[in-house]
Each structure stands twice: as C-alpha cells, then as structure tokens.
C-alpha cells in the first residue's frame, strides 16, 4: 500500500484529500503513477490532464517524474507552490 | 527556528526573542510579506492558505539549513501563517542574523526566495468571480535560480 495525498486544485478536481492505494502491478515510478491516475475517471483525468503542471513529492521531498515509488511511500500530488 | 501557525505574529517581539542574549550578532535583517488587495488588475478579498503538514516544516528546515551552510549565521527565523487571511494581514516573516550586515541581507533574501518556490503552501483567493487558486509566477522561479549561479 501507498498513501496518496492531494492538495489545492488537485484535491478539488480528484475530490480526494488522502487515500490508501495498493500499487497496481507495473507501477514503478511517479510517471507510471500519473499515467494510471489519468485512467481512473473524470476528476482524476482532469486533475492530471496537464501532466507537466502537477508536482509530486515522495516521502515529503520534491521529486521528478522518473523518481521510483514503492510500497510504504507517502506520495503527494499538488500544483506549483504559491506561498510567501 | 520554524513556525507554521494560524495566528498573527509580532515582528518586534519575534526579532527580540531571536537575538536575545546573543551579543555576537551585529546585523539582523527581516522581511515581512503582507496580503495585497489586488492580483494583477483584479480585486481580491480574503485568501485561504493551504499547506502540507509535515512536508511544510521539513521543507522550511531544509531551506534554513541551506542558508546556514552558505553564510555564517547566528540565528534564523521563518514564520508562515496558514488559514484565512484578509488584505493587510501579515502572512510571512523571515529573518537572518549574523556578525555583519552582508550575510544577514543575503541570507534573508535567500530564505524568502526559496520559501516561495519550495515550501508547499497554496493560496486560494476570493475574487469577484469566486474563489481562485493563485498561479505560480515564473519570476519566482527565476529569483530562486539566481542563487544557484556561482557568484
């Protein structure tokens, strides 16, 4: 299982703040996970449509699309940050 | 020191606490960000700050550690508010203290530039057309990149 968190408009579009997911077979990287999200239904397809725009953190560190994902990870998807 | 909080802060009190008893500090530089009532040409009412509890603190601690590795700092402080804020409210405070002014100025600037592009906060503005998530600005990315070029 992995914990997946969603923030800001990614949370609103997916309708989900947090979920525990069994990693489907063949999902080894953030990029694989984004592709899988696009096939999950309307809200997810919409949230992940602009593939380059959604950012990802694994275990609370910013990562690139080629970063590996594995059981036990905390994975977060969110828009570019706008604090300060 | 890192603080993420809903309540307001007192700049004078925060800076006094930061430097209290440390007489090696010769320069203290601070930056305070306020909520504007305009975004481009559009009027903005209140805004709501969302963040990623856990990662926010981790990201801010990393930014602080990087500043401390880069300049001879005696004290640093980052305070960021979350929740609902009104125009004119204080939203963020960063401060850096050193023996001399140059490190304090540079580190303070570095802290706010990296906070804006690395710390997981998101602003939702109330506009006449309804709530709108603020878009990230390219100029913020450029401000961060500036620090990555060797001097």
Domain boundaries, chain B: 2-135
Q: Which residue of A has its CA nearest to B138?
A: A80
Q: Residue B150 pLDDT > 80, yes or no?
A: no
Q: Walk me through the domains of chain A, giving residue ranges and CATH numbers.
A: 2-78 (3.10.20.30)
Provide the pLDDT confidence category of residue B4 given band limits of 50, 70 and 90: very high
Whole-number pLDDT of residue B77: 98
Q: Is the dihedral of CA A14, A18, A23, A24 positive or negative?
A: negative
Whole-number pLDDT of residue A70: 96
Q: Which residue of A has its CA nearest to B57?
A: A60
Digit-coded pLDDT (tens) for A53-70: 899 999 999 999 999 999
Interface of A with B (CB under 8 A): 5, 7-9, 57, 60-62, 76, 78-84
Q: What are phi and psi of B127, to 5 degrees?
A: -120, 170
Whole-number pLDDT of residue A7: 98
Q: What's the CATH class of domain B2-135?
A: alpha beta
Whole-number pLDDT of residue B38: 81
Distance (Å, rounded) from C-alpha A78 to C-alpha A29?
A: 17
Mean pLDDT of chain B: 94
Whole-number pLDDT of residue B126: 92
Digit-coded pLDDT (tens) for A8-21: 999 999 999 999 99
Q: Residue B151 pLDDT > 70, yes or no?
A: no
**What are the structure tokens assigned to B98, written together?**
């050193």
Distance (Å, rounded) from C-alpha A75 to C-alpha A83?
A: 20
Whole-number pLDDT of residue A51: 61
* Long-range pairs, A20-24, Cβ under 8 A, ≥24: A23/A69, A23/A70, A23/A71
Whole-number pLDDT of residue A13: 95
A79: nearest CB among B91, B133, B140? B133
Which helix (H) or strand (E) segment holds residue B77: the answer is strand B73-81
Is B89:B123 a contact under the CB 8 Å cutoff?
Answer: no
Mean pLDDT of all residues in B35-62 = 92
Q: Please judge whether A82 and B121 are an interchain contact, meaning their C-beta atoms are less than 8 angstroms apart.
A: yes
Digit-coded pLDDT (tens) for B90-140: 999 999 999 999 999 999 999 999 999 999 999 999 988 899 999 988 888
Rounded to two decimals, the ipTM of the complex is 0.94
């Amino acid at each position: 299982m992995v914990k997946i968190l969603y923030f800001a408009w990614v949370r609103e579009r997916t309708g989900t703040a947090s979920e525990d997911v069994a990693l489907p077979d063949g999902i080894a990287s953030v990029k694989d996970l984004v592709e899988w999200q696009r096939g999950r239904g309307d809200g997810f397809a919409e949230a992940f449509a602009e593939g380059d725009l959604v950012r990802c953190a694994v275990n609370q560190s910013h990562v690139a699309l080629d970063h590996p994902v594995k059981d036990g990870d905390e994975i977060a998807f969110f828009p570019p940050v706008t604090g300060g | 020191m890192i603080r993420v909080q809903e309540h307001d802060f007192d700049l004078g009190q925060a800076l006094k606490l930061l430097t209290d008893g440390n007489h090696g500090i010769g320069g203290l530089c601070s930056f305070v960000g306020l909520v504007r009532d305009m975004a481009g040409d559009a009027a903005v009412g209140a805004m709501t700050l969302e963040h990623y509890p856990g990662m926010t603190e981790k990201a801010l601690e990393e930014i602080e550690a990087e500043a401390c590795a880069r300049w001879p700092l005696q004290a640093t402080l980052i305070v960021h508010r979350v929740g609902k804020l009104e125009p004119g409210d204080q939203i963020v405070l960063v401060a850096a203290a050193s023996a001399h002014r140059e490190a304090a100025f540079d580190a303070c600037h570095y802290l706010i530039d990296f906070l804006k592009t690395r710390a997981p906060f998101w602003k939702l503005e109330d506009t006449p057309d309804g709530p709108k998530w603020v878009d990230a600005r390219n100029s913020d990315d450029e401000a961060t990149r500036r620090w990555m070029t060797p001097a």
